[in-house]
Amino acid sequence: MANVAVIGAQWGDEGKGKVVDWLASRADIVVRFQGGHNAGHTLVVGNQTYKLSLLPSGVVRGKLGIIGNGVVLDPDALLGEIAKVRAQGLDVGPHNLRIAENTPLILPLHPALDKAREEARGEHKIGTTGRGIGPAYEDKVARRAIRLCDLAEPETLSTKLDELLLHHNTLLKGLGAATFEKQELLDKLLALAPQLLPFSEAVWERLDEARHSGKRVLFEGAQAVMLDVDHGTYPFVTSSNTVAGNAAAGAGVGPHGIGMVLGIAKAYTTRVGSGPFPTELKDDIGKRLGEVGHEFGTVTGRPRRCGWFDACLVRQAVKVGGVQGLVLTKLDVLDGLTELKICTGYEIDGEVFKRLPAAAAAQAKARPIYETLEGWTQSTRGARSWAQLPATAIKYVKRIEELVEAQVTLLSTSPERDDTILVSDPFAG
């Protein structure tokens, strides 16, 4: 049986939480391989709703969860999330949650710098969550990050804090923000050490053992391909690689270990924060999509911008993200719309493009070219087989497959875990 990697094929918020939860019931291990607590997954299980930002979705199903080295970890956010789900009845501890020992930590100075920079940008804000994700990744590649393993070595921790504060306090002071004292940070980290170190291990070894013993591993991405730091709508992107190729580096496995790649896309398009959005609807239909789809960011609480399905965008995500199967979510949100549109190209300065250019100015000028399809008045909500879908809904899904050049593997028709149409088994290999 194969492993499976799940990534977003739009700008995030595509419903990865439900899909990963559904797949986790058939996996042995669920691994988060990038991002931080700037991404949220909402899982609806019976009458309980779990909102996760750092915990791998598999913990809800009693599976082993792993936070990989590709994640930047805020200790307070993690411990707070563990306490919250424990209060909801979930058992989370070192027995079912492991964290890579080389995972970089987000310290209080990271969100402070994040917010100070965003404030300094004025009207040119990127739209970050202000949670310190970008500055933490910067420290990682600059080789000055505090990692989980450092908490076991007080002398190493002290020396690394000197270098870290030399950099950050200089920037904070230049931006007119408050600076940080070394002793306060050191005391905080030493106090966190006994709470975090029991979760620490060389997870690459565990994953290697899982491979040899034939266990199924589910790799869970955050954000989406169009927010990838290389392949997304730069600079309105996240600070890590969100494509499936990063699952190998962010978890500590070889490329062969990733398995089948599933890309998740809504049956329409949404985006949180700033940046280009060619198919955005600022009319009553856009408002309706937001209301019916309950489009608010799990982490930010911000209303999501809504628009028609962008096939060019998803096709691009399929190609660069290595997507082998498409998961289409929230089909039911389109119920009652008698006319639907799909973006099949862009017009930019009189020229037609089938992809979104990399240059920011060109992205901002992109105007969608639409294909119009017939909608449906019947309800698709809760459908669990093709036979329960109206013919025009099936035609809509099939047209998406043609345009994005990927087959639909799973089709979701409500937030409920079991309201899913399984077309082919992702774990079958």
139 is known as an active-site residue: no
168 is known as an active-site residue: no
Q: Where are the alpha helices (DSSP H) in 232-375?
A: 246-251, 284-292, 311-321, 360-365
Pairwise CA distance, residues 97 & 95, whole Å: 6
Alpha-carbon torsion, ordered 199, 201, 205, 207, to 10 deg: 20
Distances (CA, A) of 285 to 4, 269, 341, 363, 365: 35, 12, 11, 23, 22
Task: Give residue for tokens 């070219």.
Answer: 369
Cβ partners under 8 Å of residue 284, min gap 6? none
121 closest CA partner among 113, 109, 132:
113
| Cα radius of gyration rounded to whole Å, the chain | 22
Catalytic residue (one of 21, 28, 37, 41): 41
Catalytic residue (one of 13, 74, 139, 228): 13
10 Å Cβ neighbour count for 213?
Answer: 8
Two structure tokens written together for 235? 């600079």
412 closest CA partner among 262, 264, 223, 261:
264
Question: Which residues are catalytic, by number?
Answer: 13, 41
